[in-house]
Structure 1
Amino acid sequence: MPDVVCISPIDSSEVARHPSASAAAIDAALQAARRAQKQWAQVPLAERMAKMTAFVDAMLAMNQEVVPEIARQMGRPVKWGGEFRPFEERARHMIAIAPDALKPHVPKPIEGFTRFIDKTPAGVVLVIAPWNYPYLTAVNSVVPALVAGNAVILKHAAQTILVGERFEKAMRAADLPAGLFANLVLTHDDTARILSSGAVDHANFTGSVAGGQAIERAAAGTFTTLGLELGGKDPAYVRADANLKHAVDNLVDGAFFNSGQCCCGIERIYVDESLYDAFVSGFVELTSAYKLGNPLDETTTLGPMATPRGAEVVRRQIRDAVAKGARSHIDPKLFPADDGRGTYIMPQVLTNVDHTMELMTVENFGPVVGIMKVSGDDEAIRLMNDSAYGLTAAIWTSDEKAALSIGRQVETGTVFMNRCDYLDPALAWTGVKDTGRGVSLSEIGYDMLTRAKSYHLRTLS
């Protein structure tokens, strides 16, 4: 069995090395999950909710250990304090809404008949989690899947392999039935074999478009349902009536938090021509204030990217854009930690960009953003829709009616007004086009993790 290894982006040291699960261990975990799920589905919902609440409490107790551990694995600065505040928000919300989300649907009564639609567990759910927000992306599916009566197999990314162990430890603390939750160290080939075998009933994957296509190919013919959150190139539009300072402050953070490695991070910005010069000036000034360095240093505000390969994608897009006439605004002298080769990469702001450049059309998942001047709503809508992706779109305006009108014309899963880069657990998290399919979070998220079962009962007089 090949080892799965996590190499730290801080200094290229080895953080963790684990052998991948053997075929026998994988089969045993799947069989145990199937047995445990049948019993778990009979456990009252209130008890399942209590177990998941205990899991959340156990996870939160690890926060002090987890924050530097994440920094070592994928580079996020300890200054930002980890993921457990939104982790708790999402988990507790999904637990709290479960009674309403999972209750039977009862149509209009007909005399002599009892009719209702029950929501039954999907069965065994495979969660394939990414490294960029390793706790948040996993909890979106893990907690509601278990609350709904499913068993869960978690396959975490190699870059954040220790996160799966944290989930496992917290599940043990919550005293879940044996076999109901399993954290498996899997290779890509192992994952494909599980999917192609039909051994799981639903799989949720967060990652690249290519990864999602591989998941679909592996599951083809099994009728396993899939939830896929894939690539993004999320746009922002700053209208002429926007609060300029608020837009600058929020969009700098939306573009560069987590070194730009955010599923719904801002990668392209369209600014009304009346605000363009002032917006670019403020954006460059604020971006220049970041401190790039070791994420274990409390003064660091921008850590390294998770992998050298990811950093090279960003550098290549910047080189390509500049060669085609783009102007870079951030002075490299402000960021000596960026040597032009490794994972430490400075933030960059480019103007004089257009959609002939990959920078404005292909996901880069890093600390660079292009800013374009637009003449108004029509041009902004056209450019926002000129993308293969559709996860979120953010509109900065003082006119909510205009935001709604624009939002209805933009091809996206979520429309923001005067904010960005946030998941509200009460709303459906979904995408269109190459960003994928399916829903997590909200009451609708439970529909992905259950199956409709209709009851049509006739009483004979």
Structure 2
Amino acid sequence: MSTAGTQIPQDADTASQTTLIPHNQQPLVIRSYPSQSQLEKSIQHAAAAQEKWARLPLSQRIAIGRGFMEEFGSMRDEIPLELTLQMGRPVSQIPGEVRGMLDRADYMLNIAESSLADVSLTNTDKPGFRRYIKRVPLGVVLVVAPWNYPFLVMINSVLPALIAGNSVIIKPSPQTPLAAERFASAFHKAGVPRDVLQVIHLSPELTSAAVKHPLVDFVSFTGSVAGGRAVDIAAAEASGFKGVGLELGGKDPAYVRADANLDYTVGELVDGAMFNSGQSCCAVERIYVHESIFDDFVARFAEITKKYKLGDPTEPETNLGPVVSVASAERIRKQVSSAIEAGAKALIPEDLFTVAKAGTAYVAPQVLVDVNHTMDVMMEETFGPVVGIQKVNSDDEALALMNDSPYGLTASVWTDADANADSQEAFLRLADELQAGTVFLNRCDFLDPALAWTGVKNSGRGISLSKFGYDQLTRAKSVHMKIKI
């Protein structure tokens, strides 16, 4: 997902990318990169088309957004296998992403008029004056999209950018090119002009060139910390001062208090750690459990984890697929082995998952105890089906450990807040002090489109979803009228 690089290759017109199927490492599709001159023309066309698109009444752009939902919904039967072959998630779990994407689109369309409406100051105007604040589009928005949840992430920025009157260029991950093409196809069928929304497959060098281009006004990047840093540097090197939204990594913690309902909590946290093979920026990667329930929690957690069916993601009974690549699998295995060498204890026997072999993208799920913050498995993003569980003796110790991280995307607290007023008060205190963009009570790994999606520290900056997602993709323009002279 990195976009590092600054020089444009002379042979970019002949360069290409190949998407490998994660579970068998066979080539799926090949996409060619444009030449420098072709990229230049595409960006110029996007800028020219944006001016006309922005003049279209908001109500018509919203209607086109509704048409996109219908077009995309009509494709729902074609999407699961196609996406599984690209990134490896079990085919039975893909429909959830389609539903979630449509739900987010629906919400963002519902709030578009109010979010983009002029802010009138008539209540405080002096006689003879009128003042108001408009939200106007930025221009050309470059969306650098990831592979792990391509539809869910693209909708967060692409739809509000278009509805607000911007044109959009999507640079998809090489792992999920077909997802971006299908996504754009639904918008085009709904009435978005092709120059207003383009999918362009780019090398790292060409991505950097696009970020720096003077006609690109904003960059929305989702991916690794290293990739985000490269985008930020490239944007800073460009002429002018363009905006950059960065949604980066996570090492999201969960804290299970002594009064948590384990019949509910354990299964939820196993799913929060293992779904999509742990390949989510907001997956639960470290868990802190009160010492009074630690042994019971760990035993239950390991027992559920052992029951996963790791295998061919195209088979309907599989509920845990491969990670995205062999290189990713080797990195995850190394992190686990390093933790074990440093004293961690692995609770899941590897022989339960015989398909997970070196040289493949299959990684066995693993639960580690006797972990601490000297280990990478508790400090650095894993992005795999692995979780470390650590014992704590108080809310204060849990809070200190949860905040002891370079990341800050989400955090969750699990406690019986419904029946116990003291537990709810304890949660609210933790919510105030946790260094995270989102704090959950008794749930995890979920994006509510009504809430701002944002991070702190190395998890990035900027906002998507909610009213504030529209704010990020527009700028304020003040109008000050002296009517009587």
TM range (shorter): over 0.9
Paired position in structure 2 for 1:313: 331
Contact residue 88 and residue 322 of structure 2 kept, 8 A: yes
CA distance in 2, matches of 1:26, 1:64: 33
Deviations 1:407-451 (A, max 9, x none): 111110000000000000000000000111000000011110001
CA distance in 1, matches of 2:193, 2:91: 34
Paired position in structure 1 for 2:155: 139
Distance 1:330 1:178, change over 3 A: closer
CA distance in 2, matches of 1:411, 1:104: 33
What is the identity, as a one-letter code, of the residue corresponding to 1:394? S
CA distance in 1, matches of 2:253, 2:185: 38
| Aligned counterpart for 2:280 among listed residues 245, 262, 271 | 262
Paired position in structure 2 for 1:275: 293
CA distance in 2, matches of 1:76, 1:110: 60
Q: What secondary structure sits across from 1:299 in the alignment?
A: coil
CA distance in 1, matches of 2:23, 2:126: 66
Offset at 1:109? 2.5
Q: What secondary structure sits across from 1:115 in the alignment?
A: strand
1:406 aligns with 2:430: yes
Contact residue 80 and residue 92 of structure 2 kept, 8 A: no
Paired position in structure 2 for 1:348: 366
CA distance in 1, matches of 2:178, 2:156: 18
Alignment of 1:41-52 (within 5 A): 41-52=54-65
Contact residue 198 and residue 219 of structure 1 kept, 8 A: no
CA distance in 2, matches of 1:235, 1:27: 43
Q: What secondary structure sits across from 2:229 in the alignment?
A: helix
Contact residue 347 and residue 366 of structure 2 kept, 8 A: yes
Contact residue 234 and residue 268 of structure 1 kept, 8 A: yes
CA distance in 2, matches of 1:198, 1:265: 36
Q: What secondary structure sits across from 1:371 in the alignment?
A: strand
1:383 aligns with 2:397: no
Contact residue 238 and residue 272 of structure 1 kept, 8 A: yes
Paired position in structure 1 for 2:232: 216
Alignment of 1:13-92 (within 5 A): 13-82=26-95, 83-92=97-106
Which segment is superposed worse, 224-233 or 331-340?
A: 331-340
Structure 2 gap segments, 5+ residues each: 1-13, 417-422
Paired position in structure 2 for 1:103: 117
Identity %: 48
Contact residue 83 and residue 94 of structure 2 kept, 8 A: no
1:328 aligns with 2:352: no
CA distance in 2, matches of 1:110, 1:251: 57
Offset at 1:341? 3.2
CA distance in 2, matches of 1:340, 1:405: 45
Q: Number of residue pairs matched? A: 461
Paired position in structure 1 for 2:201: 185
Paired position in structure 2 for 1:93: 107
CA distance in 1, matches of 2:340, 2:292: 25
1:442 aligns with 2:458: no
Q: Structure 2 length as normaliser, TM-score? A: 0.94
Contact residue 254 and residue 266 of structure 1 kept, 8 A: yes
Q: What secondary structure sits across from 1:280 in the alignment?
A: helix
Q: What secondary structure sits across from 1:439 in the alignment?
A: coil
Paired position in structure 2 for 1:392: 410
Q: What secondary structure sits across from 1:311 in the alignment?
A: helix
1:367 aligns with 2:390: no
Paired position in structure 2 for 1:451: 475
Alignment of 1:111-150 (within 5 A): 111-150=127-166
Q: What secondary structure sits across from 1:38 in the alignment?
A: helix
Which segment is superposed worse, 194-203 or 210-219?
A: 194-203
Q: What secondary structure sits across from 2:331 in the alignment?
A: helix
Which segment is superposed worse, 115-124 or 334-343?
A: 334-343
What is the identity, as a one-letter code, of the residue corresponding to 1:53? R
What is the identity, as a one-letter code, of the residue corresponding to 2:157? S
Q: What secondary structure sits across from 1:262 in the alignment?
A: coil
Offset at 1:230? 0.6
Deviations 1:301-333 (A, max 9, x none): 100001111111210111011001110001222
Q: Structure 1 length as normaliser, TM-score? A: 0.98
CA distance in 1, matches of 2:110, 2:39: 33
CA distance in 2, matches of 1:227, 1:301: 33
Deviations 1:178-211 (A, max 9, x none): 4111010111111101112222111100000000
CA distance in 2, matches of 1:73, 1:153: 21
Deviations 1:202-251 (A, max 9, x none): 11000000000000111114311010001110000000111112110100
Root-mean-square deviation over aligned CA pairs? 1.0
| Aligned counterpart for 2:173 among listed residues 148, 154, 157 | 157
Deviations 1:32-79 (A, max 9, x none): 111111111111111000111111211121121110111111100011
Q: What secondary structure sits across from 1:29 in the alignment?
A: helix
Contact residue 393 and residue 416 of structure 1 kept, 8 A: yes
Which segment is superposed worse, 57-66 or 436-445?
A: 57-66
CA distance in 1, matches of 2:197, 2:191: 11
CA distance in 1, matches of 2:36, 2:187: 24
CA distance in 1, matches of 2:395, 2:166: 45
What is the identity, as a one-letter code, of the residue corresponding to 2:325? T
CA distance in 1, matches of 2:410, 2:227: 20
Offset at 1:103? 0.7
